[in-house]
Amino acid sequence: MGLKRLTVNLRIAVIQLNPQIGQLEETVVRARSLVRRVERYRPDIVVFPEFALSGYSFHSRPEISAHLCRPQEGPAWELCRQISQGLSCITVMGYPERGDDQQAYNSALVVDEEGKLAFNYRKSFLYDTDEEWQCAENPAGFQTFELPLKGKARDRSGDVHDVKLRSAIGICMDLSPYKFEAPFHECEFSTFQLEHGTELLIVPMAWLHSSSVTRDTADPASQKAEIANSMDRLGLPLHGSQNQFQVDVELRDGTCVKECPDDGILPSAPSDAGAASSYSDLSRPDNSNLNYWIMRFMPFLACKWRENWFAEKALKPMLAKFKGSRFTYLGSSLKVPWLFENKNALLVLCNRCGAEDGATVYAGSSGIFKFNGQHGDEETILDTTNRSVELLGNLGKGHEGVIVRDVSFEIERDL
């Protein structure tokens, strides 16, 4: 018995949808169609967005009430169970939950290969829209769970092992500062996951594009008009692209499938155009949001400043203010400059696309990332160019679609 380094090999499918409220059956049909496009590749994990089937922009409890379901009831549960049983895979999907306490939650199901509930996570940090329908915060806060995987790990001798990955679900706003009020550098979600040794992070989202109308929009009517103009230029209805699937498959055996819809658009708007005009090039990811998402995982990113903090004993006063609730600051502890050094973690971000209400525009750009725990004393830029994060692939900002990747990462186990 002793600590061994194992290589975990997984095939992950991420499905990007544009669900609309009141169009459940149509959304399920498109979801099934995308699963059929990749079922031949036998993914180990299939991930769907936040509120993947119901649509997201509910503005009152009466409006969402008919969509609330208990964890093992309703359309999300049935579809996840069918996908998991049909492909012998793990399926993750966001849905609106009716709790036993009559509270309503923004939740995500994790369904195992046999179609059984493996975990149910409730969103901890709520966005403005969640609060409009009186969504409750997760009373347990951020969580981790063990995800059993059969025969997916190998040691250096080539022997195959079953493993339980230390896993976590986060939902959209969980990545951001609490209520947008907490200090940016506290990185609550990623710090929690770093300190708990999480190896697989799965994040369903309904994350906004910069052109979206929000509570902070100075002139909502003008912005809505710009959104309508953007969709018109793209030749799309006001709710955005549906049924024009982007398919992106790269596998270890050399399989490569790239299907990209013709956007049918005029050249991109000039740089001095309004923010809504930037909603173009739908087959390309939203790099601004990609950089933000990665920055929110600062504790997992290489950063050479940590060596100075450690050498100068600057961490003790920084950590003191947390009164024992955490033992790291941006990945540094009192014992080591970077707690994540020489470790690996996999991040799966699954966002929705399209638009709702003629006002809410989503950023798509779902993707798969690997934190490699390297270059800790070299990097200063905390975005997607940081060499400690490997971008394994992304969908574009505006089309429904699916991306499939073979991924390898290392874990340690006492065997």
Catalytic residues: 50, 123, 172
121-126-127 Cα angle (round to 5): 130
Question: Which positions ≥6 away from 30 have C-beta within 8 Å?
Answer: 17, 242, 243, 400
Question: Which positions ≥6 away from 379 have C-beta within 8 Å?
Answer: 301, 302, 303, 304, 386, 387, 388
Q: Within 13 Å, how many C-alpha atoms sit on residue 131's CB side?
A: 7
Q: DSSP letters along 184-212, please?
A: GGG-HHHHHHHHTT--EEEEEE-PBPTTS
List the end-to-end C-alpha distance of the chain, in Å, as a whole number: 5
Query: In residues, how long is the chain?
Result: 415
Give the alpha-carbon dihedral of 125, 130, 135, 137, to 10 degrees. Answer: 0
> Cα–Cα distance between 146 and 118 in angstroms, integer?
9
Number of H helices, E strands in the chain: 9, 16
Q: Which one, of 387, 384, 342, lies nearest residue 367 by Cα? A: 384
Q: Which one, of 277, 270, 260, 268, lies nearest residue 393 by Cα? A: 260
> Cα–Cα distance between 273 and 60 in angstroms, integer?
34
Q: Are 398 and 6 in contact (CB under 8 A)?
A: no
Q: Are 75 and 24 in contact (CB under 8 A)?
A: yes
Q: State the DSSP H helix or E strand holding residue 13, giving kind and residue range, or none if neither.
A: strand 3-16
Q: Within 13 Å, how many C-alpha atoms sit on residue 401's CB side?
A: 29
